[in-house]
């Protein structure tokens, strides 16, 4: 059985909330990758983007995925761009079960419009710019997200049925 579950999906798709719940229900440890990077670097995500640039942040994500990929019994909520940079998706698929929390761009916009300040890719955009940016970026990332081993509707509440399905899938790989 895979003892690592990587939750992937666009910003705002509920990776942290769902991840915490899955971890509670499976008895696994929960790690939020953005938070892990932030603590390691001693800087917030917007600060890392501002001072070192996005490509440096993407390198930090790859390091995090490799390091966390050695831990057991762990649920990892990844940042929205993580699976679509470097060869992160391949690394995650090789070391654990990848689960995509899928949502459409309108649902994502409604959830992100009130929390754009902590997200450097969104914070300087007007609401209208943000709406079309989310649509385009989701379209661009969808082929990468859809390589996940399992796809879950992000609007579903995580319940026993979903956790059982994740465990069945993890056991079969």
Compute the least distance from the CB of residue 164 to ligand S3P, in Å.
Answer: 26
Give the residues lining the site for ligand S3P (CB under 6 A). Answer: 11, 34, 45, 79-81, 119-121
How far is it between the farthest Cα atoms of the chain? 45
Please check whether residue 78 is in contact with residue 15, taking contact to mean a CB–CB distance below 8 angstroms.
yes
Compute the least distance from the CB of residue 71 to ligand S3P, in Å.
Answer: 19
> How does 145-169 read in b/e, with b if 16+ C-beta sit within 10 Å?
beebbbebebeeebeeebeeebbeb
Between 117 and 173, whose beta carbon lies closer to ligand S3P?
Answer: 117
Between 45 and 162, whose beta carbon lies closer to ligand S3P?
Answer: 45
Compute the least distance from the CB of residue 47 to ligand S3P, in Å.
Answer: 11
| Helix or strand run (H / E) with residue 80 | none
Dihedral angle over CA of 79, 84, 85, 91, nearest 10: 90
Between 76 and 162, whose beta carbon lies closer to ligand S3P?
Answer: 76
Compute the least distance from the CB of residue 73 to ligand S3P, in Å.
Answer: 22
Between 71 and 85, whose beta carbon lies closer to ligand S3P?
Answer: 85
Compute the least distance from the CB of residue 129 to ligand S3P, in Å.
Answer: 16
Please check whether residue 9 is in contact with residue 146, taking contact to mean a CB–CB distance below 8 angstroms.
no
Please check whether residue 18 is in contact with residue 25, taking contact to mean a CB–CB distance below 8 angstroms.
no
Between 79 and 96, whose beta carbon lies closer to ligand S3P?
Answer: 79
Q: Which two tokens stand for residue 157?
A: 């509440």
């Amino acid at each position: 059985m895979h003892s690592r579950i990587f939750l992937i999906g666009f910003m705002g798709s509920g990776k942290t909330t769902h991840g915490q719940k899955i971890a509670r229900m499976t008895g696994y440890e929960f790690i939020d990758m953005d938070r892990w990077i932030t603590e390691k670097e001693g800087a917030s995500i917007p600060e890392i983007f501002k001072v070192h640039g996005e490509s440096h942040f993407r390198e930090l994500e790859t390091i995090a995925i490799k390091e966390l990929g050695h831990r057991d019994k762990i649920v990892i909520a990844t940042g929205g761009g993580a699976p679509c940079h470097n060869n992160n998706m391949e690394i995650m698929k090789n070391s654990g079960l990848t689960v995509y929390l899928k949502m459409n761009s309108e649902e994502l916009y409604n959830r992100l419009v009130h929390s754009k300040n902590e997200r450097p890719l969104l914070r300087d955009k007007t609401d209208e710019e943000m709406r079309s940016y989310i649509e385009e970026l989701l379209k661009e990332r969808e082929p990468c997200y859809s390589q996940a081993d399992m796809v879950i509707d992000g609007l579903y509440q995580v319940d026993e049925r979903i956790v059982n399905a994740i465990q069945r899938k993890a056991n079969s790989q």
